[in-house]
Chains A and B, each alone.
Chain A
């Protein structure tokens, strides 16, 4: 059933691509309906599967001669992320409801690219045949370029091209690793296959895993915004139109983290083993990438602290939060990986909410993202809705109890404490800086320190902005409600994630490590 999320999205994209131009106002309605259907399917699949293990979704021979099958399967991790994709898609369309007001918005194309991207993302999360996963992964990259380059803002062509090239560099690395693994397995067993389970059961020689693992892991981690390959993320996020930023931070970066776990770590678990020597305390790829993740957490947060563009603040905060996801994965503990997956979901929701506040609700009305300029606008009075919203989203994002971010971050930190205590301490520092940059942005933007009265005693006029639309409200309720729901009752997701993490290959969780 979950496979229909993919087909619906692609069918919707195709429909919108051939839709006559004069129906530009209908495009968003079609897109919303398609996304809602996708969400309904994802939710139904999520609920009906409950806490059970992997659910087979589809299995058809595709290129039998090459051992490639169209195999879709959804374990707990996949189901959670598919649900996230459905939510992000609906919210993204709600927050782009203004596209289609004018004829020259090219609304049909916008929503066609949007749905094509969504379809690819669904596909990645559901694929078990790694070849299929790679195909969907690449399908998701191309629309991103056009979404940003056509409908973006600040330095959009630069941001779009940078993002596309980083993504393709990453996927080239992944492809090299996968192809070699495919050739090795086929050459040794005579049975060519790209099936994840087959590859995970095959014992690649440790020396092979030692170079294949970092290659594939880095390839995917580029898209997850791992330091020092994160530079595409802030520029891309800033350049992108709101809906695309929401998708980028919300689901596309998750594709990278998901690939790290599902492909790199599952197929090449012994790549995480110690090298047998230590250099400056670094003794395995696991510590290398763990270190990168921790640097990402602190670096992203610190840079966010000094940004003057509102969107850059959120862009760098994404780098920081995704660092937590990677750190959680690399702890190789049940609780750490649980937390990482939950953090993927939580950050997907919260980043969407933050980008929507910044890009759609504030920027579309004030036409500036400069913190100093926004500071003069008395926004807490002019836009109380936006101010409240950012306070809530910011609190959730900085990890306040009661929201989804808290549960996830605590679990990651506990896992990290078991695995690498020093990193956990530094990551904790990053979270503290996270409070600081959120606070700073909140205060600068919404709670003006300019006097409310001028020198001669007359009150400064409060600028008037167009009222908040129903679509914006609906999107906010959807995202904020989800975050709150998961924060209050995290078992809703954790009960699904935990068995799936437990079912990860034994070698991944223990391997040759002590």
Chain B
């Protein structure tokens, strides 16, 4: 507010910096028009293919523009920033959304393909803004745009009661935590007199830790903890992961996570100013407890799951815990490491949910037994899932291992967390050894068990090509982990 009052907005700059989002908005309207005007009489499959293809083009155009203009000046008052790291996160988000759309080409859960694709693009817009926002108001509005789109998408399989239940749960938890977060933001504003993260950092560095500030921290952590599904705000995740249509789950688990972690990194570096140990203690302790809880509970709960989606939901909670460690460390390195982790994790998860979607389509269920004998019913599909799961488990030479290694090194190098950092890294490494058990449960079904049915699992060329591409990326990035270092520096 104050920022706006003192500086008139430079609209040409605003337009330049939000052009990627604008492209997505325009394309999302275009998708709706095309779907309503030209494709009304076409078959369901054709409409879905067109809607998704247009959406992919929109994402591609937006990403191309971002890649061509890597460094821009920030919007006045640093409301939206455009650093290389933010651009990397945004390009990553666009790629992930595009992959989700490609994997939905053959999806049959919706009779409204235009709306589906349009809302995915809206959610992506929200993610881009979240990643770039450095002002509490923009953060909140962008997060709400993202969340509302995801609530709708979760309920998109209108014929499925599970989908409706998942959406309702997601919505109720989400609404509650958004309210808490907004309340926390209002305290922060009240204590510092500004909504810009820069201003908050400067103001907090000059004031002692007050009880009010702690309340604000707790409330804010509730809101963001919900978005990243960290314990104890994780309760929605298993049900939503299970009930939502597979591509939507992929979106929730990928782009949405990347955006939320990006903003969490930015917020943390504002709340913990460099020399203020007092603040560091309170906010970092909060994050560390959430991290420890997520790592332990996520990994233990995943051990007993029989539904692959729920298994991945709990594993997502565990992965969120690892990343929270990096956020608590709060150095530029650890911030970059979190982003690297979030992006590569998201890529792998999109692939995994792509496979789950295909298996579900043929078996009608996501129970582990549906994967029995997959290596004989569709060897290539099984091989891609094999790579995704190993990468999630952090087995070298796949990218998941590098992401973990890089993250843990960054935490240890930071030294900001002292002994508790070392202990939590040790816990995290031990927990990832435990996690291998449940990933092996799925791999065991695919490779060891005899198939229940023998006919091959049908898969379209485009799905297979996309999954193979993702698997190749997971593998190649594992062999050449420094390949992304122009965007996200390692180490």
Residues of A in contact with B (beta carbons under 8 Å apart): 17, 62-67, 109, 134-135, 138-139, 141-142, 145-146, 149-150, 157, 161, 164-165, 168-169, 171-172, 175-176, 179-180, 182-183, 186-187, 192
Contact = CB atoms under 8 A, between A and B. Distances in A.
8 contacts: A66-B409, A135-B401, A138-B396, A145-B440, A150-B447, A168-B433, A179-B425, A180-B422
A172 B433 contact: yes
A186 B415 CA distance: 12
B482 interface: yes
A304 B444 CA distance: 31
Contacts of B409: 66, 179, 182-183
Contacts of B390: 142
Contacts of B375: 109
A149 B396 CA distance: 21
Contact of A149 (B401, B406, B448, B489): B448
B462 interface: no
The 8 closest A-B pairs by CB, nearest first: A66-B491, A183-B412, A172-B433, A135-B396, A65-B491, A168-B433, A149-B448, A63-B482
B395 interface: yes
Given A134-B396, A138-B396, A179-B425, A164 B436 contact: yes
Contacts of B425: 176, 179
A514 to B, nearest CB: 33
Contacts of A150: 447-448
Contact of A180 (B406, B412, B490): B412
B33 to A, nearest CB: 45
B412 A179 contact: yes
Interface string B435-457: 01100100110011000000000
B432 A183 contact: no
A146 B489 contact: no
A62 B375 CA distance: 33
B395 A138 contact: yes
B10 interface: no
Interface string B466-487: 0000000000000001100100
A157 B413 contact: no
Among B413, B433, B482, max chain A CB count under 10 A is at: B433
A508 to B, nearest CB: 26
A145 B447 CA distance: 11
B199 interface: no
A189 to B, nearest CB: 13
Contacts of B422: 180
B426 interface: yes
Nearest to A171: B433
Nearest to A131: B405
B408 interface: yes
Contacts, number: 81
Contact of A142 (B395, B406, B415): B395
A150 to B, nearest CB: 5
A250 B401 CA distance: 28
B413 A186 contact: yes
Interface in B138-167: none
Contacts of B412: 179-180, 182-183
B397 A135 contact: yes
A433 B397 CA distance: 43
A126 to B, nearest CB: 15
Nearest to A170: B433
A109 B382 CA distance: 13
B448 A66 contact: no
A192 B491 contact: yes
Given A161-B440, A165-B437, A176-B426, A65 B448 contact: no
Contacts of A66: 406, 409, 490-491
Interface in B379-397: 383, 390, 395-397
A40 to B, nearest CB: 26
B440 A187 contact: no
Nearest to A183: B412
B121 to A, nearest CB: 35
Contacts of B447: 109, 146, 149-150
Nearest to B412: A183
A139 B397 CA distance: 7
B244 to A, nearest CB: 31
Contacts of A182: 409, 412
Contacts of A172: 429-430, 432-433
Contacts of B490: 63, 65-66
Contact of A176 (B401, B429, B448): B429
Given A138-B395, A164-B436, A187-B415, A63 B481 contact: yes
Contacts of B395: 138-139, 141-142
A212 to B, nearest CB: 11
B41 to A, nearest CB: 44
Contacts of A67: 491
B360 to A, nearest CB: 25
Among B390, B430, B447, B448, max chain A CB count under 10 A is at: B448
B482 A64 contact: yes
Contacts of A149: 444, 447-448
Contact of B440 (A65, A109, A164, A183): A164
Given A175-B429, A176-B429, A187-B413, 7 more contacts: A63-B481, A135-B397, A139-B396, A168-B436, A171-B433, A172-B433, A183-B413
Contacts of B491: 63, 65-67, 192
B385 to A, nearest CB: 14
A135 B489 CA distance: 21
Among B396, B397, B408, max chain A CB count under 10 A is at: B396
A179 B394 CA distance: 15
Interface in B346-387: 375, 383
B429 A62 contact: no
A169 B408 contact: no
A186 B409 CA distance: 10
B474 to A, nearest CB: 15
Contacts of A164: 436, 440
A17 B471 CA distance: 15
Contacts of A169: 430, 433
B429 A65 contact: no
A343 to B, nearest CB: 29
A53 B440 CA distance: 42
A136 B425 CA distance: 22
Nearest to A184: B412
Nearest to A17: B383
A454 to B, nearest CB: 44
Contacts of A145: 440
B442 to A, nearest CB: 13
A89 B236 CA distance: 50
Nearest to A169: B433
Nearest to A68: B491
B368 to A, nearest CB: 14
A161 B390 CA distance: 15
A157 B426 CA distance: 28
A172 B373 CA distance: 30
A446 B205 CA distance: 82
Contacts of A171: 433
Nearest to B402: A63
B440 to A, nearest CB: 6
Contacts of A141: 395
Nearest to A165: B437
Contacts of B489: 65
A66 B409 CA distance: 9
B482 A157 contact: no
A186 B413 CA distance: 8
A280 to B, nearest CB: 29
A134 B489 CA distance: 22
B482 A62 contact: yes
A17 B475 CA distance: 15
Contacts of B433: 165, 168-169, 171-172
A171 B430 CA distance: 9
A65 B432 contact: no
A66 B485 CA distance: 11
A157 B422 CA distance: 35
